[in-house]
Amino acid sequence: MLRMLGYAANQLDRLRFALAAERAALQVDEPVRCDGWGVGSYQSGELLLRRRPSDARETLRLPELLVSLRTSCAMAHLRHATAGGHTLENTHPFRFRQWLFAAVGTLPNFPEKRAALREVIPGFIALNIRGETDSELLFHRLLAAVHAQGHLDDPEYPRTDLLEALRDGLRGVDTTLGARAPMAFLVSNGSLLVGVRRGAPLAYVRRLGLRDGDQLRAKNPDLLGSEGRKVHLESFRYVFLASGGAPGSPGWSEVPEEPDGSALVVDAKLELHHHAL
């Protein structure tokens, strides 16, 4: 069941073709019942966010939320509520300035450790916390580690520094909680897209060109429409990170599991970097 999806590409107007090409792996035709949905995307230097909670579990297909976007970096999430009510503030993805975050999984011992997790977050960052979820608090705890390095507003944040901030933040969270829960999350500043696996499955694919745009259009009219112009996709490159879906599909791989978690970083050139945490 596809719950969370990250996307990075080298062209702004090709996301619908990537969705069509990965239709089987992303289970485009499978409707999912959820407690809310959200989509964040970077467009012309701006971070745009759409979210909607649902009181009665809504049925939708996640790619439908993305197909019309014109972006080279996006994140989408279907929420299954575990902590916090069905409100806009509790709906993923979460945003702070140019940062975007979404997660699946639940932090252990969260209700009794909530205050302890929050007290180490600088006040100006903690003021951005609007909801009740463990995921939002985790996001801001990680931002505190980024801030400690001085990179909170750095569009050219070095990959190695971000990884060290994630390690520091996660170690602090684990220490406070006294345990580590199976989870996966995505975080991005619009330049780097990072997928972290800590016990929960996370899969990815990287494509360096699609061979036949016209054939894709013929097979996926509901995603691509009936636009008549010829489409050349040989130079189109993209990466998907997905929690759920079908990682056994051709070209897809699992983000490797490590004792303390692992990260897959997609840089601005769409190069992939695997790291143990």
Residue 8 CA to residue 97 CA, distance in Å, equals: 19
Residue 237: per-residue pLDDT: 96
Question: C-alpha 139: how far from its chain's center?
Answer: 12
Q: Taking Cα atoms as reference points, which of 64, 50, 30 lies closest to residue 100? A: 50
- 128-151 mean pLDDT: 95
Residue 205 host element (H or E): strand 203-208
CB 103 within 8 A of CB 173: no
Residue 219 scores a pLDDT above 80:
no
229 pLDDT band, cuts 50/70/90, is low
Q: CA-CA distances (angstroms) from residue 245 to 2, 23, 205, 208, 233?
A: 5, 10, 11, 21, 24
DSSP E strands in 121-166: the ranges are none
CA atoms within 13 A on the CB side of 268: 8
Domain ranges (residues) in the chain = 4-276
Higher pLDDT, 96 or 215: 96
Residue 254 scores a pLDDT above 70:
yes
**CATH superfamily of the 4-276 domain:** Aminohydrolase, N-terminal nucleophile (Ntn) domain (3.60.20.10)
Residue 152: per-residue pLDDT: 95
| Pair of tokens at residue 139 | 């996001």
Residue 119: per-residue pLDDT: 93
54 pLDDT band, cuts 50/70/90, is confident
On average, the pLDDT of the chain sits at: 88
Q: Taking Cα atoms as reference points, which of 104, 56, 96 lies closest to residue 76? A: 104
pTM of the model: 0.92
| Percent of the chain scoring above 70 in pLDDT | 90
Residue 219 host element (H or E): helix 213-219
